[in-house]
Amino acid sequence: MTVSLPLVVVLGLVAWLAIKFLGVRMWVAVVIALFGFYLADTFLAPAIDSGTRTGVDIVNGTHN
């Protein structure tokens, strides 16, 4: 069985759980999200994308 969820849904759920149960303040979650958007527009974006895809492949067991 394959379940397909958009990454934003998963990250939103993680953020909600962190705010609800770990006591993370809402402004901290917003700052982290804004920093992620800022980082996506830098020269580091291809390296982050490649690392994320490799990590997902390893977790899924599809890495060669």
pTM of the predicted protein model: 0.57
Phi, psi of 44 (to 5 degrees): -80, -10
Does some domain include residue 61? no
Q: Is residue 63 part of a domain?
A: no
Instruction: Determine the straight-line distance between the first and last CA of the chain, rounded to whole angstroms.
Output: 22
Range(s) of the domain holding residue 30: 7-55
User: Considering the domain boundaries, does residue 1 fall inside one?
Assistant: no
Residue at 36 is within a domain: yes
- 20 within a domain of the structure (yes/no): yes
One pLDDT digit (tens) per residue for the chain, 64 residues: 677 878 788 888 999 999 999 999 999 988 888 888 888 888 988 988 898 888 888 888 886 6
Structurally, the chain folds into a number of domains equal to 1
